[in-house]
Amino acid sequence: MQRPIEAYAAVPSLTSASVEAGRPIHISFGSAAPGHGSTPLALATADFAYYTAQRVTVGDELPLLTVTETSALPLAYDTLRRAYEARGPEAMKRYNALRQRRVGVRWYPAGMNSLAFASGITAMHSEERVETHFLLGRLGIELALMAEAAHRENRTVIAGSDQLEGQAVAFALADHALIGDEVFAAGGYLGQTPEGLRRNRIADTLRLAMVAVLILVSVLSVLQPGGA
């Protein structure tokens, strides 16, 4: 039994709305990318993209994946392809047809806290008639520009980041925020895979163990002679 996370609970209804409206969903990796310090975060975001994109493979629009680090481009392309492939040959045929019409993975320059990336996404909101935005990966304060632009178009935003500034902005501006390490838990919540569920159970246990150790160390440091 996993603890409820509002953002993950909202994903099925948001993806269904996207299919019904015939509008694409947008998933951003931010500046998370393989080959950098954010490699595990990039893979976690790819996990989120994989399970979310699978839900819209029946739709008429290709999901849009955006990155700001070029090394995340192959990962994003592969994630999108795998999501369609997982749904069988018919979905794969649809993927190949949709690819002719629109490029599903996009790079906007460049790097961490890129305002050029934020302005590119802001322009994309209206150009591509995006239904829902999943702004994840590594994002800082520039997330405010993207979320605000999405709200101007009355679009739902789910946001999360490994940066504290990004998390604060997500809490304030997103409809649903993924706080702390919640962005890493997509496999268990969206995919319901045994590995994902196991991973989330281990993460919860480790977190509890860490809290217990911190409390124990604090108590011991107070109790020992000359402690605080």
Count of residues that bind other proteins according to CB under 8 A: 58
**3-11, 21-29, 37-45, 89-97 -> range binding other proteins (CB under 8 A):** 37-45
Nearer CB in complex with other proteins: 187/225: 187
- CA pair distance 190, 225, nearest whole angstrom: 50
Interacting residues of 184 by C-beta distance below 8 A, sequence separation 6+ = 40, 41, 44, 203
Tell whether residue 54 is a contact of other proteins (CB under 8 A): no
- The only residue of 7, 62, 65, 105 in contact with other proteins, by rule CB under 8 A: 105
**170, containing H or E segment:** helix 164-173
Tell whether residue 88 is a contact of other proteins (CB under 8 A): no
| Cα R_g (the chain), whole angstroms | 19
Helices and strands in the chain, H and E counts: 9, 6
**2-10, 18-26, 68-76, 87-95 -> range binding other proteins (CB under 8 A):** 68-76
Tell whether residue 127 is a contact of other proteins (CB under 8 A): yes
- CA pair distance 173, 32, nearest whole angstrom: 21
Tell whether residue 70 is a contact of other proteins (CB under 8 A): yes
Nearer CB in complex with other proteins: 58/208: 208
- Is the Cβ–Cβ distance between 52 and 24 less than 8 Å? no
Tell whether residue 7 is a contact of other proteins (CB under 8 A): no
Q: Residues 68, 72, 77, CA angle at the centre, nearest 5°? A: 110
- Is the Cβ–Cβ distance between 11 and 158 less than 8 Å? yes
Tell whether residue 19 is a contact of other proteins (CB under 8 A): no
Tell whether residue 85 is a contact of other proteins (CB under 8 A): no
- DSSP β-bridge partners for residue 224: none
- CA pair distance 220, 228, nearest whole angstrom: 10
- The only residue of 112, 121, 169, 186 in contact with other proteins, by rule CB under 8 A: 169
Return the half-sphere exposure (C-beta side, CA atoms, 13 A cut-off) of residue 192: 3
- The only residue of 10, 19, 91, 145 in contact with other proteins, by rule CB under 8 A: 145
Tell whether residue 117 is a contact of other proteins (CB under 8 A): no
**13-21, 52-60, 90-98, 180-188 -> range binding other proteins (CB under 8 A):** 180-188
- Is the Cβ–Cβ distance between 178 and 170 less than 8 Å? yes
- Is the Cβ–Cβ distance between 170 and 148 less than 8 Å? no
Residues that bind other proteins (CB under 8 A): 35-36, 39-41, 43-44, 46-47, 70-71, 73-75, 78-79, 101-103, 105-110, 115-116, 118-119, 123, 127, 141-142, 144-145, 147-148, 151, 162, 164, 167, 169, 171-173, 175, 179-181, 184-185, 195, 199, 202-203, 206-207, 210
